[in-house]
Amino acid sequence: MWQVLIQPLIEFILPLYKWEPSCYNLRRADSIIRSSFKLFSGLKPNTDNQTVDLLSGYDFKSRATLMHHISQEKWAYRKKGDRFQYEFLPQEVKEKLTTNKLNVCKRMPKELIYYLNTTKSICPICKVPNSFCHLETQHNCTLPNLGQVLKMISPIQRAKMPRRECLNMIKELIMPLLLKMRKSIDGLRMN
Q: What is the pLDDT of residues 99-142, one digit of tens each?
A: 656 677 777 888 888 988 888 888 877 888 788 888 888 888 88
Query: 3-class SS at 143?
Result: coil
pLDDT tier at 4, thresholds 50, 70, 90: confident
- Over residues 4-16, mean pLDDT: 81
Q: Return the domain boundaries, the chain.
A: 2-98, 110-190
Question: How many whole angstroms separate alpha carbon 135 and alpha carbon 129?
Answer: 9
Q: To the nearest whole number, what is the mean pLDDT of the chain?
A: 83
- DSSP alpha helix (H) spans, 102-190: 110-118, 132-139, 146-158, 163-190
Count Cβ atoms within 10 A of the Cβ of residue 79 and give its class: 0-12 exposed, 13-18 middle, 19 or more buried. exposed
Using alpha carbons only, how large is the chain's radius of gyration in Å? 21
Query: 3-class SS at 129?
Result: strand
Total-model pTM:
0.76
